[in-house]
Structure 1
Amino acid sequence: MKSLLFASTLAVMLPSLGAADGSDPKPWTHQNFDADPGKFTFAIHADLTGGERPGIFATAMAQLNLLRPDFVISVGDLIEGGEIQRDQFEAEWEAYDNRVRSFPGPIFYVGGNHDLSTDLSREVWAERYGPTYYHFRYKNVLFLVLDTEDTSPADRVEIAKARAKAIMIYQSDGPEAFAQTEYANLAHRTAGTIGDDQRNYFLEAIEHNTDVRWTFLFLHKPAWQHRVKTPFASIEAALSERPYTVFNGHVQAYGHEVRNGRDYVQLATTGGEQFPDLGLSEDHVTLVTMTNTGPNIANLMLSGIRDKTGAIPRDGGDLCFSVERCGDDQ
């Protein structure tokens, strides 16, 4: 700003150096700064479980501290979870909480199947964090956080039984046999479940927030991939007359599709197990800049976010951010 003031003063003091019509040459393009009060940025981190690779997520948090978005939100699978005891759940959540605590802005949690698939895991979540689905507004933008593990207690028991059996088959007979199991072919495993109460909650939230300029949805599993109409279809229908963007995780390979004329973005990993056979499977964070004309979405690979010394924080130069390129033994 001081340089611009100096240049303006100089032009006034030495008018003979500029054009007579006031169109003086200047060493800048214009003075319309990209600083609208409605502009903001937030970051999204992807799955870090399914066999978390050490060091990756801690490095990502250090990098987010360099980027300093207004807040960070996830797409679920924040802990390994699964069929474990209460004290293990508590310890895993405490570890995640400690790792995100260094970020100066808010961190918004989204639950995945590792986080919310059992009665016990949901009980622990409720005690620590309250609701598994919720919404909030920020700078006239609506954020919807969904729970794709919203099954009945009876269904959770049956899914757990099918999963345990499928894992035994995987361990004894390999992935091809696993692919033929009941669990591997469950619609819930791929696209999750959203119950009627949750649908009604979001329909009400959408109805009460008609004045927002954009809506973002965050969910772990791609709920729109069911072959039959589900409660999520009602949420999409309620948003059909307004602009929105959807982010999900779960597959742990990056994807993008245009559905209903809107962007549906699937994040890959931020430390979780990678599956390069499914597509781009590399550690990254997503930076979203909200503007007056809509969001700009940039995917930042962890291997390229460096500090002022030119190094990846927390000795990240020794880490493997893409198993496909550097091998899963690093």
Structure 2
Amino acid sequence: MTNKRDLIIDDTKFSTKKGPWFGELPVPRGGDYDFAFISDRTGGAVHGMFEKGLEAAKKLNPDFIVSIGDLVEGYWTDEAEAHEEWDRIDPLLAGLGVPVFQTVGNHDYGTEAMIRVWRERKGIDYYAFRYDRTLFLIANTETAPLPLPEAMLELIQRANRELIRNPQALFVDLIGDLAGDGVPAEAWTMNEDTLIHPHLSDEQIDFFERVLADNADVDWTFVCLHQPAWKKPDPIFERLERLLEDRPYTVVSGHVHYLEVTEKRGRQYIQMGKTGGLHCFEGQGDIHHILSVKMRGGAPRFEVILLEGEGGTDTLDAYTKRAADTKQTA
């Protein structure tokens, strides 16, 4: 049997050879292998935590790493500032010595300037890849921007500039100091209803439908999203779920900065916590972590790698959503 490693691009839309990845997939050995997910760095990165997450991922000796999005603070309206921020982050990924595949997040793609810079540097915003008998669908949930007023965008950019000058500052404190009485506190109060606004596109699902048909022999499929699209009524995402219904799959997202697993259709829908990002919600899932994935016999085994304090590991069972579970807004 041929051990496949394929990067799959939507050639009906993209003609560029650029892509949001660093390094090449290694040649599959056949059988078992390991990889890792890293999550959100942004919304006011905790100094050094993302770098700690990268090192923890590298120590796992994975075949590759998948980022679930939001690697830069972003929301720039000046392309030069957007480039400068990517110029600080991209070398961390490129120099890791492990292939890294990126999912686009709202901070990465949240303004017209950020979109232009992404396209210039990384080319495409959705794609797929196959590694041996596992398929990865990397989607873009940011095809329409989150609704942010101009005054709030300017405030975010001012706070970002302060963070660049003083990386150990706290974003929430900076926002509070800069806003004064200009922006009401409730504008920064987070809850899932206001935070989650996934926007996929039909052209992505058309592409994924072709990819799924061409790779019907895989053992497992991972759907990588930035925003947890299953938490809002979304006919486009529901169409993708119907395409997947006859095969084993796992959905992995980020965005909310709170680790939570939803059991749906007999599958796991994993909303990762954060890998250096802003504290948003109180509760057990409010952790900095990465996710180790060991493919054994064609199925995944997950382990939560904790980054705070003494570190350690945990299982996903402790983060499975139950009817009585609640979260408080930050």
Query: What band does the TM-score fall into relative to the shorter chain?
Result: 0.7 to 0.9
Partner of 1:13: none
Q: Does 1:253 align with 2:246?
A: no
Alignment match of 1:193 (pick from 174, 183, 199): 199
Matches within 5 A, 1:107-118: 107-118=100-111
Alignment match of 1:161 (pick from 138, 146, 149): 149
Alignment match of 1:75 (pick from 50, 68, 71): 68
Q: Deviations over 1:223-244 (max 9, x none)?
A: 12223x4211101100000000
Give how far 1:305 is off: 5.4
Structure-1 separation of matches of 2:253 and 2:226:
5
Query: CA contact under 8 A between 1:167 and 1:178: conserved in structure 2?
Result: no
Alignment match of 1:277 (pick from 282, 294, 297): 282
Structure-2 separation of matches of 1:162 and 1:184:
22
Sequence identity percentage:
32
Q: Does 1:42 align with 2:35?
A: yes
Matches within 5 A, 1:1-330: 37-151=30-144, 156=145, 159-161=147-149, 164=152, 171=179, 172=181, 174-176=184-186, 189-227=195-233, 229-277=234-282, 279-303=284-308, 304=310
Structure-2 separation of matches of 1:184 and 1:218:
19
Query: CA contact under 8 A between 1:64 and 1:103: conserved in structure 2?
Result: no
2:196 counterpart SS class? helix
1:73 counterpart SS class? strand
Runs of 5+ unmatched residues, structure 1: 1-35, 307-330
Equivalent position amino acid for 1:282 in 2 = I
Partner of 2:170: none
Q: CA RMSD in A?
A: 2.8
Partner of 2:324: none
Give how far 1:68 is off: 1.2
2:95 counterpart SS class? coil
Give the 3 Å change call, closer, same or farther, for CA 185–83 of structure 1 in structure 2. farther
Query: Would you identify which runs of 4 or more consecutive aligned residues in structure 1 move more than 3 Å?
Result: 160-180, 183-186, 303-306
1:296 counterpart SS class? strand
Equivalent position amino acid for 2:231 in 1 = Q
Query: CA contact under 8 A between 2:257 and 2:278: conserved in structure 1?
Result: yes
Query: CA contact under 8 A between 1:191 and 1:224: conserved in structure 2?
Result: no
Give the 3 Å change call, closer, same or farther, for CA 92–166 of structure 1 in structure 2. closer
Runs of 5+ unmatched residues, structure 2: 1-28, 157-174, 313-330
Q: TM-score, normalised by structure 2?
A: 0.72
Partner of 1:9: none
Equivalent position amino acid for 2:123 in 1 = G
Give how far 1:103 is off: 2.0
Partner of 2:12: none
Larger Rg: 1
Aligned residues: 261
Structure-2 separation of matches of 1:185 and 1:115:
21
Structure-2 separation of matches of 1:185 and 1:282:
21
Structure-1 separation of matches of 2:153 and 2:62:
43
Q: TM-score, normalised by structure 1?
A: 0.72
1:198 counterpart SS class? helix
Give how far 1:37 is off: 3.2
Structure-2 separation of matches of 1:239 and 1:299:
25
Query: CA contact under 8 A between 2:31 and 2:298: conserved in structure 1?
Result: no
